[in-house]
């Protein structure tokens, strides 16, 4: 009994005993010693056939059996990933202590449900059962996602492919067995494995079948299999309006129900869906594929499944683009999210519906714009929390049955469309934190790079003094007015600490620091009035007033211009910009919307970008009332400190010391191994435009950049990181307290 008192001595043991007896009498149920007694303290209702129900759907509500009766239940919680910094999802590095710590924090936040996308290692279910036994009066429930063969579906474009069906059924069967502690899975690369003994079934809220569906695959499946538009199973069936893909889904949901039935339990069923394959029409959506086909939850129905069935959607306020183009005044002042949820809820009248993914990231990078500032990125952690809480309240107030935030923890392995062309090699993304890739920072639990709590951006130099000498390097700084420059780095940033011999006054001067990592770049230009270098600069870091402080990029090295100008022709790249040593430094941009034109799209829309090179002044000290997670620099007196995201300096992968190359074979970025980065400082007098520094000269009269020592570092295959709750955690805690697990409407 694992040290717990016998079930028959607990107050809830009698009800559980009746449940067990009924299950035995009904026959055919799975029974195993380690599972037969697991979860008996979980209050549930026994059905006439002996099966047990803890959750069920009733009208437009999800209900929980508690205190001897069925009560409406609002699922308020988070999605939980399967990995940590320095690891990819298939490696499953999370340990028991991590899960238990997180469960406690999630519970303290006020969440009642977590959702996992796929089968985790046995330790997840063991930890959850142990945690819930200690919180028996108010356990933490979970929704188990079952991963569909996503890559095969996209590749073969046919859900009825025999290999796909076989693989998906195996995944369903294994996941159900894992939840009920009845699986031994041999080690397979990229898959969870081990012996599953813990019965987590009593804490399950429901099943979520599949992943976000590729619209072209759905449309092709419907086209190929017109004769398969209906399905009638023992537990789930289609309605007369179903499509062939929906009939396939009904089969898979039914198979999950049949598999679970053998364990004497029934839980609400659902399948994962998203806005791209929703049931509504979006005339303002420019991309055909985003409004191509519907996957309709109302076309499936439970036949003999009294636990019920609910609809599940991923709904973000910035994707697809119709959320922007439905904006009435076109100036980003219209709430397009609430009307969408209202329409979606109305369509699913009579059944519960949950938003099982939503939220915004706390990242410097941005990849989609949205009305009311609810963009995909560009928010600090406080702003993230405000928006996440606001979206949660909207979902609740529209009568949904659940709101599951994306997500619990930051995920370094993630990629985003507008930075992934430069993050190379792809298989090393998890080893560094690219803060320009917004997908990495959706969590309310921050996963920060190694120096986050050692070098605090606040303008104080004490933490630099305390930093071990092995972690910092003194750079060459032969510039009148600059006493010293020190550099350090971690998995996210290069840090610079600059000491002047006078108080810094950005109204009178600006400090420029050119960086050189590759042969080529700008050796002269407006930024270097009257000066010439013997080697070119890839980027230029300016420290001045708040508006001008940031990083610019040499025109010929400009990654946005090269890819979306030179290769794709969406923006202009002048002949001058294509020249080496053009003298031009461009703002550091990322695209947020590509140029769209008929006939490839329904309507024409221009290319749009955003400046990500600006460095924000402030403090990233979480103990400060003015804490700003996106603060990149600060100064006090004669000391200036800043941190620069690796990608802004041209790094494709700092962990293997590879920079984005000037060369673009096959019209795509390539990388080059580098020894390090040269930092070349000078000061510009704002009144006279006079350059102070760069005095040394070669025989040809140029400044010898090639003689400046490089800042070097060792590559790494293991990461250090700091785990800390963000202000967005507190914001979610407040909204969860307000909602109090109670549905707003429905039923």
369-402 pLDDT, tens digit per residue, is 999 999 999 999 999 999 999 999 999 999 999 9
Across 25-39, 272-286, 481-495, least confident range: 25-39
pTM of the model: 0.94
pLDDT at 26: 37
* Distance in angstroms (rounded) separating the CA atoms of residues 714 and 676: 10
Region of residue 646 (left: phi > 0; alpha: psi -120 to 50; beta: else)? alpha
Q: What number is the average pLDDT over the span 54-78?
A: 98
The whole-angstrom separation of Cα 547 and Cα 159 is: 53
Q: With pLDDT > 90 as the criterion, what percentage of the chain qualifies?
A: 92
Instruction: Report whether pLDDT(13) > 60.
Output: no
Rounded mean pLDDT of the chain?
94
pLDDT band at 188 (very low <50, low <70, confident <90, very high): confident
**Bridge partners for 605 per DSSP:** 596
- Picking from 443, 439, 441, the residue whose alpha carbon sits closest to that of residue 416 is 439
Q: pLDDT tens digit string along 397-441? A: 999 999 999 999 999 999 999 999 999 999 999 999 999 999 999
Beta strands in 555-690 (DSSP E): 585-587, 589-593, 608-611, 616-617, 631-636, 639-645, 651-653, 658-660, 671-673, 678-685
Cα distance between residue 610 and residue 587, in whole Å = 9
Q: Band of the pLDDT at 239, cuts 50, 70, 90?
A: very high
| C-alpha span between 569 and 562 (Å, rounded) | 9
pLDDT band per the 50, 70, 90 thresholds, residue 181: very high
Q: Is the pLDDT of residue 47 over 50?
A: yes
Contact predicate 210/252, CB 8 Å? yes
- H or E segment to which residue 245 belongs: helix 244-261
Q: Which residue has the higher pLDDT, 656 or 13?
A: 656
**Average pLDDT estimate for 196-204:** 98
Q: What's the pLDDT at 28?
A: 41
- Give the tens place of pLDDT for each residue, 539-566: 999 999 999 999 999 999 999 999 999 9
Instruction: Specify the CATH number for 51-447+723-741; select among 1.10.3720.10, 3.90.930.12, 3.20.20.80, 3.40.220.10.
Output: 3.20.20.80
Domain locations in the chain as residue ranges: 51-447+723-741, 450-718
Reported as a single tens digit per residue, the pLDDT across 683-740 is 999 999 999 999 988 888 999 999 999 999 999 999 999 999 999 999 999 999 999 9
Q: How far apart are CA 606 and CA 369, in angstroms?
A: 14
**Phi and psi angles of residue 401, each rounded to the nearest 5 degrees, phi first:** -90, -10
Contacts of 188 (CB under 8 A, 6+ apart): none
* Start-to-end CA span in the chain (Å): 40
For residue 25, the SS3 value is helix
Contacts of 439 (CB under 8 A, 6+ apart): 361, 367, 411, 414, 415, 416
- Report residue 746's pLDDT band, with 50, 70 and 90 as the boundaries: low
Q: What is the mean predicted confidence (pLDDT) over 610-637?
A: 98
Residue 402 confidence (pLDDT)? 98
pLDDT 10s digits, 316-343: 999 999 999 998 888 899 999 999 999 9
Contact between residue 185 and residue 193 where contact means Cβ atoms under 8 Å apart: yes
Q: What is the pLDDT of residues 121-176, one digit of tens each?
A: 999 999 999 999 999 999 999 999 999 999 999 999 999 999 999 999 999 999 99
For 384-413, letters b (16+ CB in 10 Å) and e give bbbbbbbbbebbbebbbbbbbbbbbbbbbb
pLDDT at 99 exceeding the cut of 90? yes
């Amino acid at each position: 009994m694992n040290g717990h008192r016998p079930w028959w001595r607990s107050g809830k043991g009698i009800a559980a005993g009746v449940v067990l007896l009924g299950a035995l009498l009904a026959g055919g149920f799975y029974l195993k010693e380690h599972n037969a007694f697991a979860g008996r303290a979980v209050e549930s209702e026994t059905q006439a056939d002996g099966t047990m129900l803890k959750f069920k759907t009733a009208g437009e509500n999800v209900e929980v059996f508690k205190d001897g009766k069925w009560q409406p239940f609002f699922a308020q919680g988070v999605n939980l990933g399967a990995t940590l910094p320095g690891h990819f999802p298939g490696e499953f590095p999370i340990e028991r202590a991590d899960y238990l710590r997180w469960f406690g924090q999630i519970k303290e936040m006020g969440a009642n449900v977590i959702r996992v996308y796929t089968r985790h290692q046995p330790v997840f279910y063991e930890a959850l059962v142990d945690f819930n036994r200690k919180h028996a009066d108010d356990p933490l429930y979970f929704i188990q996602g079952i991963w569909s063969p996503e890559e095969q579906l996209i590749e073969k474009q046919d859900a009825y492919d025999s290999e796909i069906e076989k693989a998906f059924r195996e995944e369903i069967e294994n996941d159900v067995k894992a939840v009920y502690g009845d699986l031994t899975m041999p080690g397979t690369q990229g898959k969870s494995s081990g012996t599953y003994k813990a019965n987590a079934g009593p804490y399950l809220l429901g099943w979520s079948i599949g992943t976000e569906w590729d619209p072209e695959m759905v449309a092709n499946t419907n086209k190929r299999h017109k004769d398969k538009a209906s399905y009638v199973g023992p537990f789930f069936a289609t309605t007369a309006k179903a499509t062939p893909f929906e009939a396939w889904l009904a089969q898979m949901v039914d198979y999950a129900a049949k598999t679970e039935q053998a364990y004497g339990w029934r839980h609400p069923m659902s399948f994962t869906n998203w806005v791209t394959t929703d049931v509504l029409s979006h005339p303002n959506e420019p991309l055909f594929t985003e409004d191509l086909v519907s996957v309709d939850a109302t076309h499936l129905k439970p036949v003999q499944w009294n636990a019920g069935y609910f609809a599940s959607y991923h709904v973000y306020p910035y994707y697809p683009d119709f959320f922007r183009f439905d904006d009435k005044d076109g100036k980003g002042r219209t709430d397009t999210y609430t009307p969408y949820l209202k329409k979606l809820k109305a369509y699913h009248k009579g059944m519960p519906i949950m938003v099982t993914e939503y939220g915004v990231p706390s990242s410097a990078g941005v990849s989609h714009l949205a009305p009311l500032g609810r963009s995909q990125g560009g928010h600090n952690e406080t702003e993230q929390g405000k928006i996440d809480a606001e979206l949660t309240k909207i979902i609740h107030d529209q009568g949904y049955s659940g709101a599951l935030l994306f997500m619990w923890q930051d995920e370094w392995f993630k990629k985003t469309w507008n930075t992934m062309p430069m993050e190379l090699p792809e298989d090393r993304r998890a080893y560094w934190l690219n803060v320009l890739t917004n997908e990495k920072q959706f969590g309310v639990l921050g996963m920060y790079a190694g120096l986050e709590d050692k070098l605090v951006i606040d303008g104080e130099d004490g933490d630099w003094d305390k930093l071990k000498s092995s972690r910092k390097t003194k750079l060459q700084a032969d510039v009148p007015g600059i006493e010293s420059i020190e550099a350090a780095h971690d998995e996210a940033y290069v840090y610079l600490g600059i000491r002047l011999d006078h108080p810094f006054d950005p109204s009178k001067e600006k400090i420029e620091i050119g960086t050189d990592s590759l042969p080529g770049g700008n050796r002269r230009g407006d930024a270097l009035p009257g000066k010439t270098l013997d080697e070119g600069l890839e980027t230029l870091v300016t420290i001045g007033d708040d508006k001008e402080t940031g990083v610019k990029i040499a025109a010929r090295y400009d990654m946005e211009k090269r890819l979306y100008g030179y290769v794709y022709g969406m923006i202009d790249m002048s002949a001058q910009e294509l020249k080496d040593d053009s003298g031009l430094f461009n703002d550091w941009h990322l695209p947020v919307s590509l140029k769209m034109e008929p006939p490839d799209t329904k309507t024409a829309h221009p290319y749009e970008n955003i400046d990500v090179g600006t460095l924000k002044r402030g403090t990233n000290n979480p103990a400060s009332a003015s804490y700003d997670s996106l603060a990149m620099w600060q100064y006090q007196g004669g000391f200036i400190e800043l941190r620069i995201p690796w990608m802004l300096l041209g790094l494709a992968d700092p962990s293997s010391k590879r920079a984005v190359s000037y060369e673009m074979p096959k019209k795509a970025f390539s990388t080059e191994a580098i020894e390090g980065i040269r930092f070349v400082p000078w000061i510009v007098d704002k009144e006279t435009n006079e350059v102070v520094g760069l005095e040394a000269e070669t025989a040809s009269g140029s400044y010898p950049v090639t003689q400046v020592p490089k800042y070097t570092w060792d590559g790494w295959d293991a990461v250090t990181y700091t785990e800390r709750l963000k202000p967005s955690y507190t914001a979610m805690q407040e909204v969860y307290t307000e909602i109090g697990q109670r549905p707003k409407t429905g039923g």
